[in-house]
């Protein structure tokens, strides 16, 4: 039996013969599947160079007999269409270690033929962030994934309460017991011989990261916290799996290198560099000690001091909540700075301040400029989300667009549609793409363009069949077809199409959020159509054309294609009993023959 196309991540590829490979995939709908890719090692094979870990795509495969009998065997891979090879991970050694660690953890936690959609979604979001996110958040992103993966597997550690007595320990330094399953209070430290002390800050950071819906890693990890977080996670995972993951050692090496670079082998930062959180310098804007010194040597100390002062001024203004003035301050820094990290960061912060100031059109201009100048910017994921948010605000008429002709601001739903269309076209695999298509359809309905709304929603249903927005779109499509008609007396075809789609929606999603509303709308629609047919039947009967009248009565009373549950059906049944039976039609004339 062929399995429809499904999302999958390559976990492992093993040479099986001179021409074939055994490949492990982790899929969203079917869990971990083991398939044989016949001919994948042959030259010019359609699978050539694709079946390797850290590749996400869509697969089609055939189920083996083991799913219906007691036989064991491999599924057969039919198609594999790569979607993302994560070049940002493969091009950076530290990112590659982290990405490979994600794959190794998936191999250990996934279960053959057991769907684990939460684990799959967490893995996809984490790999995307590891590939495109800022370097400073990678450790936090990885830790967030580990907590979510353990939760999805049912072995999440307790990070705040004692696993033995469920009490909240009050000490600043807590005791973590990996064998017992988490934090233990002072009275139960002896339950686990492998228990060790861990600072509350590290465990609190892990709890916050595990609660994030998407792994953004926005908890500010200091070097010491990173080290403690890795110690907690590595010990817990090793005891739960019964072995130490191979890549965890490489992560420890990466951590040592990071700590050496951050701390620089000295107990405190140089006196000439202010790195306190209250007054961030160029180092806080992404230029560390070494690169910052090189930049100052190249550009001159005077320009560096001007940029430092400009950044401090912009941050101070932003802290007061005056986002409009902060936008101008950051733009001034961008215009002053040479093209590089400072200019990129200033341009992004200017867009952020413009967004919070309600100047959404200008914010989108700044984001577009940043992407054009710095196409590999680490802010790309954040800009994607902001672009979606701005488009949504415009289609919901919550944002104003400046008029260059009249000099006033006005609603512009069409502009919001344009922004969201570009977003979907550029980022069709983004998690927000289905919602963007749904909003486009809603905007078209608002502009009295139901045909275009139907087109957008049909794209949503086709391209994102598993999205909850797709289910809602199916209901909206039915309503849009109904809106195409001016009434049953003028055009029944859109109403009949809408009725059929409402019936399919109610049947397909019996427990859906909108099913009760759909049932009520279906009853109203069937009553309208039945009353229309009843009126025609009465008109024929008024002219003693009972044969034609009964045709319409039967169309109402038909249990399969009629409207038997309506008020019109009850009246039709009563009229059918009262009206006289029509006379039999005249017999056809006898054929005549002609004699020669």
113 shares its domain with 154: yes
In-domain check, residue 595 = no
In-domain check, residue 233 = yes
Alpha carbons 43 and 97: distance in angstroms, whole number: 30
What range defines the domain where residue 174 resides? 86-266
In-domain check, residue 201 = yes
The dihedrals phi and psi of 227, each to the nearest 5 degrees, come to -65, -40
DSSP 158: B
For residues 168 and 161, the answer to whether their CB atoms sit within 8 Å is yes
Q: What is the pLDDT of residue 472?
A: 93
113 shares its domain with 160: yes
In-domain check, residue 108 = yes
Alpha carbons 128 and 150: distance in angstroms, whole number: 19
Q: Which residues pair with 137 in a beta bridge?
A: none
Token reading at 506: 């109610």
Alpha carbons 494 and 96: distance in angstroms, whole number: 54
80 shares its domain with 91: no
Residue in the structure block whose two tokens are 């397909």: 508
1 shares its domain with 12: yes
78 shares its domain with 112: no
In-domain check, residue 496 = no
Last residue of a domain, one of 337, 360, 378: 378
Buried b (16+ CB within 10 A) or exposed e, 214-249: bbbbebebeeebbbbbbbbbbbbbebbeeeebebbe
In-domain check, residue 74 = yes
Last residue of a domain, one of 361, 378, 395: 378
Dihedral Cα 32, 33, 36, 39, nearest 10 deg:
-70
69 shares its domain with 104: no
Longest dimension (CA), the chain: 129
93 shares its domain with 134: yes
328 shares its domain with 242: no
137 shares its domain with 200: yes
Q: Is 340 left (phi over 0), alpha (psi -120 to 50) or beta?
A: left
Alpha carbons 252 and 102: distance in angstroms, whole number: 15
With 0-12 / 13-18 / 19 or more C-beta atoms within 10 angstroms meaning exposed / middle / buried, residue 207 is middle
The pTM for the full model equals 0.49
CATH number at 146 reads 1.20.1440.120
For 184-205, the three-class secondary structure string (H helix, E strand, C coil) is: ECHHHHHHCCCCEEEEHHHHHH
68 shares its domain with 100: no
Run of H or E including 22: strand 21-27
Q: What is the pLDDT along the chain (596 residues), one digit of tens a residue?
A: 566 788 999 999 888 888 888 899 999 988 999 999 988 888 888 887 788 899 999 999 888 765 543 344 688 898 999 999 999 998 888 888 889 999 999 998 988 888 999 999 999 999 999 998 888 788 888 888 998 898 888 888 888 888 888 888 878 788 899 888 889 988 888 888 888 888 888 888 888 777 765 555 555 566 677 788 888 898 888 888 877 787 766 565 555 555 554 444 433 333 333 333 333 333 333 333 444 444 334 444 556 677 778 888 888 998 999 999 999 999 988 887 766 788 889 999 999 999 999 999 999 999 998 888 888 888 988 999 999 999 999 999 998 887 654 456 778 899 999 999 999 998 888 999 999 999 999 999 998 899 999 999 999 999 999 899 999 999 999 999 998 888 888 788 889 999 999 999 999 998 888 899 999 999 999 999 999 999 999 999 898 888 888 889 898 998 888 898 899 999 998 998 888 877 666 667 777 666 55
Nearest to 183 by CA among 193, 229, 167: 167
Last residue of a domain, one of 339, 357, 378: 378
Q: What is the pLDDT of residue 579?
A: 85
Nearest to 139 by CA among 79, 57, 202: 202
196 shares its domain with 211: yes
In-domain check, residue 277 = no
Please count the structural domains in the chain: 3
Token reading at 33: 């599947």
65 shares its domain with 92: no
């Amino acid at each position: 039996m062929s399995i429809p196309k499904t999302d999958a991540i390559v976990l492992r590829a093993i040479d099986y013969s001179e021409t074939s490979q055994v490949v492990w995939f982790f899929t969203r709908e079917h869990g971990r599947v083991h398939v044989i890719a016949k001919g994948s090692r042959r030259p010019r094979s359609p699978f050539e160079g694709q079946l390797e870990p850290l590749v996400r795509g869509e697969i089609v495969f055939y189920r083996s007999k083991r799913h219906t009998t007691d036989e064991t065997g491999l599924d057969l891979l039919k198609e594999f269409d790569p979607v993302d090879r994560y070049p940002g991970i493969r091009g950076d050694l530290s990112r590659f270690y982290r990405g490979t660690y994600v794959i190794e953890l998936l191999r250990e936690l996934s279960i053959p033929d057991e769907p684990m959609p939460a684990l799959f979604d967490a893995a996809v979001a984490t790999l995307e962030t590891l590939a495109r996110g800022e370097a400073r958040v990678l450790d936090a992103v990885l830790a967030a994934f580990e907590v979510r993966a353990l939760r999805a597997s049912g072995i999440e550690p307790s990070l705040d309460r004692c696993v033995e007595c469920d009490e909240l320990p009050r000490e600043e330094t807590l005791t973590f017991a990996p064998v017992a399953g988490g934090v233990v209070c002072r009275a139960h430290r002896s339950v686990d011989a492998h228990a060790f002390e861990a600072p509350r800050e590290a465990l609190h950071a892990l709890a916050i990261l595990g609660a994030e819906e998407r792994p953004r890693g926005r908890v500010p990890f200091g070097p010491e916290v990173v080290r403690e977080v890795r110690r907690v996670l590595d010990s817990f995972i090793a005891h739960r799996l019964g072995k130490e993951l191979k890549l965890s050692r490489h992560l420890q090496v990466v951590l040592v290198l990071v700590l050496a670079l951050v701390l620089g082998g000295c107990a405190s930062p140089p006196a000439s560099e202010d790195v306190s959180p209250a007054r961030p310098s160029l180092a806080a804007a992404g230029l560390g000690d070494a690169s910052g010194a090189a930049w100052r040597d190249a550009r001159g100390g005077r320009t560096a001091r001007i940029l430092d002062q400009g950044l401090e001024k912009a941050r101070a203004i932003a802290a007061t909540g005056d986002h409009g003035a902060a936008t101008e301050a950051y733009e001034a820094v961008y215009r002053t700075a040479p093209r590089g990290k400072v200019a990129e960061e200033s341009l992004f912060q200017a867009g952020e301040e413009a967004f919070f100031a309600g100047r959404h059109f200008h914010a989108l201009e700044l984001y577009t400029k940043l992407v054009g100048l710095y196409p590999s910017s680490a802010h790309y994921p954040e800009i994607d989300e902001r672009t979606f948010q701005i488009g949504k605000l415009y289609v919901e008429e919550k944002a104003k667009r400046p008029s260059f002709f009249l000099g006033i601001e006005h609603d512009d739903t069409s502009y919001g549609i344009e922004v969201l269309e570009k977003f979907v076209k550029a980022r069709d695999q983004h998690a927000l793409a289905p919602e963007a298509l749904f909003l486009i359809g809603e905007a078209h309905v608002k502009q009295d363009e139901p045909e275009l709304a139907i087109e957008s929603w049909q794209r949503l249903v086709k391209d994102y069949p598993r999205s909850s927005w797709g289910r809602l779109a199916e209901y909206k499509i039915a309503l849009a077809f109904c809106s195409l008609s001016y009434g049953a007396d003028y055009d029944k075809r859109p109403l009949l199409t809408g009725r059929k789609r409402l019936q399919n929606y109610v049947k397909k999603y019996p427990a859906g959020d909108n099913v009760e509303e759909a049932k009520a709308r279906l009853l109203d629609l069937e009553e309208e159509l039945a009353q229309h047919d009843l009126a025609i039947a009465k008109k024929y009967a008024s002219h003693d054309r009972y044969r034609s009248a009964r045709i319409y009565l039967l169309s109402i009373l038909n249990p399969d294609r009629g409207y038997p549950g309506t008020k019109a059906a009850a009246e039709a049944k009563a009229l059918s009993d009262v009206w006289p039976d029509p006379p039999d039609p005249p017999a056809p004339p006898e054929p005549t023959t002609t004699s020669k």
